[in-house]
Structure 1
Amino acid sequence: MKPTFQILALISTVWLVSISASFPSFAVSEPKVEETEPEKGPNRGRMLRDGDFAIELSIFETGVPPEFRVWASTDGKAIDPSKVDLNVKLTRLGDGIDDINFYQEGEYLRGDMVIYEPHSFMVSLTAKYQGKTFNWQYDNFEGRTKIAEDVAKAMEISTEIVGPSTFHETVQVYGKLVLPADATSNVYARFDGLVKKVNVKLGESVKKGQLLLTVESNESLQSYKVFSAQNGIVSTVNVTSGEQSKGRSLLQITNDETLIAQLAVFPKDLPTVRLGAKTTITINGVEEKQVSTVESRILKVRDDQAKLFRVVVNNADSALSEGAFVSAAIEIGSYDVPMAVKRSGLQSFRDFTVVYAKVGDEYEVRMLELGRAVGEEIEVLSGISLGTEYVTENSYILKSDVEKSGASHDH
């Protein structure tokens, strides 16, 4: 091999090693080993065999909540179920152990408790027949995956704890910013005369007590000074140096430290909106939201039958402008719920809406019965326990990995 080719080959090798080191594998789970499909019995249950003795364990859910039903046989012949003593323990991820005993019902044994979703657990079955004890154990996982902590962190998989919450129900409205009625003051000459000097310019910020004008009285020919009565911005200039005041407004000073959000509430929402209601305002082009309260309302409705409610907006830094469009959430009620989760964590799994519970570095679906949704949260009626850690952000990664695994449970 020529030296040039040797150098190129070496560079290629180093580059590939570098790329591999720089970009760690983000495969979420280990490659799944193809498993042999478990033997099914005549009742579509899983067959468990030990010599001539066999148990068929089936999850039955036709017309009833899911439950175990068991048929026993020896050498292929059915056994009187009353002669078999049976117990099944289901070890769940982070949710303890279900201890299920059985009683005879016709030609089978029936479990004494509902098998709640998810049907994901380690199954331990003990059967006693004619003085012998038979034991089986197997995994029946679904909706479960495993991700190392460092990989989960790199993927920005975030979690929170299931707990109670206070829901603040709101109505969404729209409007724009206007100046308060007393925001603008007119500046006059106390005594008509010649305006000798205008000390400010249009758009200039002024402070209370700042010199605005110097005027020479027509009667006394004495000069006097006119000062600003408030902080604000010079919004109008009606005079220039050398002009007569003529009893008119010479300047206008506008204080915009406070603005008013005029919000249009339409007839269907009018009964729910009250003075003093907490209001969260989003201003067009401004990232930070403002929280205030409904201060007043305008009596007359607009042509479109909307009524205007007025909310005070702080503008101490003069960052906001009159006329800017706003949206607002006006609180119309609040109530406590025993359990709630973030809507961002919801995913679909089979026919269920789920979140992914986190136990160590394992994640598993929790099928939820949901209630009212307000803002970013949704009420949980059942399906998960208080204090459970669950995924709130990037749960789609877990959904994808679970779907890739293709694991299913026994029925």
Structure 2
Amino acid sequence: MRTIFQIITLMSTLCFVGLSTSFPSYAVSEPKVTEAEPEKGPNRGRMLRDGNFAIELSIFETGVPPEFRVWATDGGKAVDPSKVDLNVKLTRLGDGIDDINFYQEGEYLRGDMVIYEPHSFMVSLSAKYQGKTFNWQYDNFEGRTKITDDVAKAMEIATDFVGSSTFHETVEVYGKLTLPADATSNVYARFDGLVEKVYVKLGDPIKKGQLLLTIESNESLQSYKIHAANSGIVTNVNVTSGEQSKGRSLLQITNDKTLIAELAVFPKDLSTVSIGAKTTLTINGVEEKQVSKIDSRILKVRKDQAKLFRVVVNNHDSLFSEGSFVSAAIEISSYDVAMAVKRSGLQSFRDFTVVYAKVGDEYEVRMLELGRAVGEEIEVLSGISLGTEYVSENSYILKADIEKSGASHDH
């Protein structure tokens, strides 16, 4: 196992692969220690010796899940497995101890439990033979590194915890904002006559009851006032002071406090979208997302065969404008998963997809069996425990450090 004290060398590696992130400098040094390769036996297992007595401990995984198999010798000669009482304890990082006993199978002893990944642990072996007890202990680490908290913080290594989650599956659609059919009203003179004065201009916001025009009736020659029936914005002025009303629309008032997002759903997604579905809108030019639901749909399809679904948008602050383009995520299903992690934390390790579990200032791979992916999260079926702290951001830094250390998958 390496530590982050070789951080200067690691930073050069990261720069080499084109990373542009800047990190603080750490003036440290650590002599490089080269460990001798452990002795291997005829079955490619690790040899453990004490005088004439020797144990070969091998992880066997041909045609079976990984398990321990042991061969014993005395003075170089094979020992009857039934004469050896053996126990192995594997101390894992943050995951407790595996207590493994053995039984005879042919010419070797076979462990009674699966050695699950990662094969990274402190091994403690105890063997009883001819009234004597033999003990060995060694480290067998892979996919593990150490980083102090202050260095991890400086490198912006962020963590999260494995937990349950509710997944919301969505379809992405696009459209634009329109006005409701009843948003615009026209202002007419009750009695035709001379427009004495127009009190508003194009673009003015008005309130219900506000004075709009004064008209002198052609019949009675009496002046009367026209007030706004609704609040809104003046979107059309068709008359000026001194003109005759002539039965036409004098002003147009538009209420924009409510808009409609018309979203185009194409045939491949039509069966999944329903009235009332939760919809998250992103409106062009507005950072904050809007959450609403499908209110209705237009029966006729467009020329491109898309059907328009309508979403009511609250516009009380007049932030949005008619004609603005929108994108939307329409929820089509929702379900709970027992465990999930952020997809940003995933890395590859050997033939596995992993995250890096954090225990104190040590980090180690956890091989994951993954399920469904929705948004920024992905379901975890196995490989890590609920509540485990793991690296969710900048996990590539750990991968680079571990790969640089050259830690092997030792059996």
Larger mean Cα displacement after TM superposition, 58-67 or 212-221: 212-221
Output aligned runs, 1:150-165, within 5 Å. Answer: 150-165=150-165
The answer (yes or no) to whether the contact 1:32–1:405 under 8 Å persists in 2 is: no
Indicate the residue corresponding to 2:126 in structure 1.
Answer: 126
CA displacement at 1:25 relative to structure 2: 3.3
CA displacement at 1:29 relative to structure 2: 11
> Any idea what SS the aligned residue of 1:249 has?
coil
Output aligned runs, 1:83-94, within 5 Å. Answer: 83-94=83-94
Output aligned runs, 1:2-401, within 5 Å. Answer: 24-25=24-25, 33-401=33-401
> Any idea what SS the aligned residue of 2:242 has?
coil
> Any idea what SS the aligned residue of 2:271 has?
helix
Cα distance, 1:126–1:262 mapped onto 2, change above 3 Å: same
The answer (yes or no) to whether the contact 1:29–1:147 under 8 Å persists in 2 is: no
The answer (yes or no) to whether the contact 2:24–2:154 under 8 Å persists in 1 is: no
Cα distance, 1:232–1:377 mapped onto 2, change above 3 Å: same
Question: Number of matched residues?
Answer: 390
- Partner amino acid, structure 2, of 1:285: G
CA displacement at 1:68 relative to structure 2: 0.7
CA displacement at 1:142 relative to structure 2: 0.9
CA displacement at 1:27 relative to structure 2: 9.3
CA displacement at 1:155 relative to structure 2: 2.1
Q: Partners of 1:28 and 1:307 in 2: how far apart?
A: 64
The answer (yes or no) to whether the contact 1:166–1:335 under 8 Å persists in 2 is: yes
Q: Partners of 1:208 and 1:215 in 2: how far apart?
A: 19
- Superposed CA RMSD: 1.8
Indicate the residue corresponding to 2:14 in structure 1.
Answer: none
> Any idea what SS the aligned residue of 1:88 has?
strand
CA displacement at 1:391 relative to structure 2: 1.5
- Partner amino acid, structure 2, of 1:210: Q
- TM-score, normalising length: structure 2: 0.91
The answer (yes or no) to whether the contact 1:264–1:306 under 8 Å persists in 2 is: yes
CA displacement at 1:365 relative to structure 2: 0.9
The answer (yes or no) to whether the contact 1:340–1:378 under 8 Å persists in 2 is: yes
> Any idea what SS the aligned residue of 1:150 has?
helix
> Any idea what SS the aligned residue of 1:272 has?
coil
Unmatched 5+ stretches in structure 1: 1-21
Identity %: 87
The answer (yes or no) to whether the contact 2:23–2:154 under 8 Å persists in 1 is: no
The answer (yes or no) to whether the contact 1:157–1:394 under 8 Å persists in 2 is: yes
CA displacement at 1:33 relative to structure 2: 2.6
CA displacement at 1:238 relative to structure 2: 1.0
CA displacement at 1:32 relative to structure 2: 5.4
Cα distance, 1:390–1:27 mapped onto 2, change above 3 Å: farther
- Partner amino acid, structure 2, of 1:342: K
- Partner amino acid, structure 2, of 1:380: V
Q: Partners of 2:32 and 2:147 in 1: how far apart?
A: 14
Unmatched 5+ stretches in structure 2: 1-21
Q: Deviations over 1:33-91 (max 9, x none)?
A: 32211111111111111122111111111111001111111222221111111111000
